[in-house]
């Protein structure tokens, strides 16, 4: 998974770097497929029943599971790219949100707080820590800045399957105090948040989640290993 994580971080960062005003969703997907082939790994998301793509791509009010078709990036858009891979029998997953072109100060702050929220959560990871503690760290940062905490979707365990136990919500649930992480475990920690009401709805494509009130949505995700003494971010940018 360390090897796969290094590859996935490179692919994620390269996709974000290439995405400019005028880039189409199909171009991003094509780049991802080509980069996966070049690294001799396969797409993780296409192992999900009914999903045939390597990426999920979202703009502005769309949060996740966006099919990479029929979209074009415009100046000032907030873009979210979610990509996963399967390497040596193990899945890895990562997501980044970023602005393209002329981003407003409000959008830049929105993105900075999302990164800060995820970093706060990852900093808590060590053997014996509860899922509640991780979620609370994310939620606290978002609450302090008045951003919406998505509650309909969660992070997850990851490894031989893309989605495994435990679920790791952004909104802290006291019931998760009894769910503890252990050394050797790998988890996909993701902050999902909105600039307005966090309630989501699903598009007619039956995949794309977006905010019900049309407010901005963002997501940052890393695959993290619980080590004997703390944690290691497997999808960290080099």
Which domains, and CATH codes, for the chain?
A: 2-233 (3.90.230.10)
Report the pLDDT value the prediction gives residue 224, as an integer from 0 to 100.
98
Evaluate if pTM is beyond 0.75: yes
Report the pLDDT value the prediction gives residue 238, as an integer from 0 to 100.
83
Q: Three-state SS across 66-81?
A: CCCCCCECCCCCEEEE
Tens of pLDDT along the chain (238 residues) come to 999 999 999 999 999 999 999 999 999 999 999 999 999 999 999 999 999 999 999 999 999 999 999 999 999 999 999 999 999 999 999 999 999 999 999 999 999 999 999 999 999 999 999 999 999 999 999 999 999 999 999 999 999 999 999 999 999 999 999 999 999 999 999 999 999 999 999 999 999 999 999 999 999 999 999 999 999 999 999 8
CA dist 162 and 29 (Å) reads 19
Residue 105 · residue 228 · CB < 8 Å: no
CA-nearest of 171, 221, 216 to 63 is: 216
List Cα–Cα distances, 141 to 6, 45, 154, 193, in angstroms: 28, 29, 17, 11
Report the pLDDT value the prediction gives residue 141, as an integer from 0 to 100.
98
Cα torsion angle, 205, 207, 208, 209, sign: positive
């Amino acid at each position: 998974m360390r090897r796969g994580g290094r590859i996935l971080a490179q692919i994620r960062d390269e996709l974000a770097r290439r995405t400019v005003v005028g880039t189409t969703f199909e171009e991003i997907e094509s780049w991802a497929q080509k980069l996966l082939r070049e690294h001799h790994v396969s797409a993780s998301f296409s192992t999900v029943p009914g999903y045939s793509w390597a990426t999920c791509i979202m703009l502005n009010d769309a949060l996740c599971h966006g099919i990479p078709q029929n979209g074009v990036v415009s100046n000032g858009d907030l873009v979210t790219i979610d990509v996963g891979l399967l390497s040596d029998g193990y899945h890895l997953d990562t997501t980044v949100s970023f602005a393209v072109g002329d981003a407003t100060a409000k959008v830049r702050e929105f993105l900075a707080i999302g990164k800060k929220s995820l970093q706060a959560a990852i900093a808590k990871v060590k053997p014996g820590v509860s899922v509640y503690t991780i979620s609370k760290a994310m939620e606290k940062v978002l609450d302090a800045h008045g951003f919406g905490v998505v509650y309909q979707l969660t992070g997850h365990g990851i490894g031989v399957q893309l989605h495994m136990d435990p679920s790791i919500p952004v909104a802290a649930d006291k019931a998760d105090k009894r769910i503890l992480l252990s050394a050797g475990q790998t988890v996909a920690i993701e902050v999902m948040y909105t600039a307005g009401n966090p309630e989501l709805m699903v598009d007619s494509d039956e995949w794309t989640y977006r905010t019900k009130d049309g407010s901005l949505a963002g997501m940052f995700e890393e695959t993290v290993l619980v080590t004997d003494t703390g944690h290691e971010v497997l999808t960290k940018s080099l």
